[in-house]
Structure 1
């Protein structure tokens, strides 16, 4: 069952229950849009289907899956798409000196290349609707989350890509909003399987690394529903002139979630404030103390 006459459509990637995508699906549905929710396995979307949403299988790292989804969406909507929300993502917490490049490539396949592939594939339907792309980025794009260099890099790439995409699609009437998400309750950090390799220089403070694995879920974390409510409210605003957009219209930038205000101020004041705050929040000053003690012990031998 497709959209009713005059009803706008929204396609959301990564709608597994417990995450931001699922909360966005519920919020857009509550606001009267026809939601097309996607996940790798449609079996996890039964609740959304029962509510009247369209549910499709989609793996954003697989070209054939994207092609099939594009065709299915066209059949549902008649060839247009009002809003595309690129939410599917993968966390990646490891010291920069301990990364495995195959693991890094997997993260970039989902967080970066998947976003690019979806925008390219659905450009025709978005142009037909003069629609909106919402790319879910992260404060990690502009903040030095220690032990998160790969994730930071992937979200930084999304931000840079989105800025250029915004200008390229402007002549076609398609808008691009970048959601700078702070700490939000989500399933993205629920898998704490990563461990430090035996020879890691951070084995001295392995407890700090283990604490960092769930950092986003334990530091000023905002409820997923609240984040989704704010985002949907803002992207459904009517258009406004560029200068007034951030206050009255669809924003080019959306900052919300735990520590979003601090990060925004940091981008204005200077990176030193973010470096100082994050260094102490991750407690890397404890590593300094350990290294000093080791140096002192060496001198005594």
Structure 2
């Protein structure tokens, strides 16, 4: 089933049940848009298809998959796309001194290169509709999220990319909105996590690292449906002058999710406050005490 005459369309990446993408599908659908839900395994989208949404297979790290998806979406929409939501992402929690570069490359393939590839591939359809691109970034892009250096770097890249993309597409009437997502309920706690190597300098505080693996699900976490409701409401607002967008109309930047207000304020006050809060919140102050005790014993 395709969109009705005059019905706006939205393509969302990474729509597996239990995640942000799935919640966004339900919320956009409830607001009257025709949703094109995507996932690597299209069978997981059966429930969304039953509600009248289009379900399309998509792997954002595969050029042929993106090409095929682009062709299918063109058939569904008639060649124009009102909203593209780049939600598909990959978590990456590991100390910077323990990373595996092949693993790092896979994270960047999904979190950064996948976003770039989707924007480039669907630019024609978005220009035809004078549409909107929503890139899901993270507070990690602007915070020292300990043990998340790779993830932070990937989301920081998305933020910088989006800033430039906004200016490049402005002449064509396409808007770019960046969502600075805080802690939001997801399936992260149920996934297989990375482990510390036996020779890791952080084995001393292995418990701190293990708590960090599920930090986003246990600290100020916003319900997925509430996050989706906030994002969709902002995305569907009317246009306003650029200098008023932070308060009225569709914003260029949306700060939502657990800790989003605190981090936003921290970016204004100074980086030192984010360093101080996260250093203790994550538990690195415990490592500092352990190292001091080791040094004290050596000096005896």
Residue 53 of structure 1 corresponds to which residue in structure 2? Answer: 53
> What CA deviation, in whole Å up to 9, does each residue of 1:252-281 have, x standing for no partner?
000000000010001111100100000000
Structure 2 CA distance for aligned equivalents of residues 70 and 193 of structure 1: 33
1:188 CA drift (Å)? 3.4
1:189 CA drift (Å)? 4.3
Structure 1 CA distance for aligned equivalents of residues 105 and 191 of structure 2: 18
* SS of equivalent residue, structure 1 residue 250: coil
**TM-score scaled to structure 2, two decimals?**
0.99
1:228 CA drift (Å)? 0.2
Structure 1 CA distance for aligned equivalents of residues 278 and 295 of structure 2: 25
1:192 CA drift (Å)? 4.0
Residue 286 of structure 1 corresponds to which residue in structure 2? Answer: 286
| Gap regions ≥5 residues in structure 2 | none
Residue 21 of structure 2 corresponds to which residue in structure 1? Answer: 21
Structure 2 CA distance for aligned equivalents of residues 270 and 189 of structure 1: 31
Structure 2 CA distance for aligned equivalents of residues 40 and 71 of structure 1: 16
Residue 296 of structure 2 corresponds to which residue in structure 1? Answer: 296
Residue 225 of structure 2 corresponds to which residue in structure 1? Answer: 225
For these two proteins, the number of residue pairs brought into alignment is 300
> What CA deviation, in whole Å up to 9, does each residue of 1:104-127 have, x standing for no partner?
000000000000000000000000
Residue 2 of structure 1 corresponds to which residue in structure 2? Answer: 2
Residue 266 of structure 1 corresponds to which residue in structure 2? Answer: 266
Higher mean C-alpha deviation, range 102-111 or range 241-250:
241-250
* SS of equivalent residue, structure 1 residue 144: coil
| Gap regions ≥5 residues in structure 1 | none
CA contact (8 A) 2:181 2:257 kept: yes
**Is 1:166 aligned with 2:166?**
yes
Residue 205 of structure 2 corresponds to which residue in structure 1? Answer: 205
CA contact (8 A) 1:89 1:110 kept: yes
* SS of equivalent residue, structure 2 residue 67: helix
Structure 1 runs of 4+ off > 3 angstroms?
Answer: none
Higher mean C-alpha deviation, range 187-196 or range 55-64:
187-196
Structure 1 CA distance for aligned equivalents of residues 139 and 93 of structure 2: 15
CA RMSD between the two structures = 0.6
> What CA deviation, in whole Å up to 9, does each residue of 1:204-262 have, x standing for no partner?
00000000000000000000000000000000001111111122211000000000001
**Is 1:64 aligned with 2:64?**
yes
* SS of equivalent residue, structure 1 residue 251: coil
Structure 1 CA distance for aligned equivalents of residues 71 and 179 of structure 2: 27
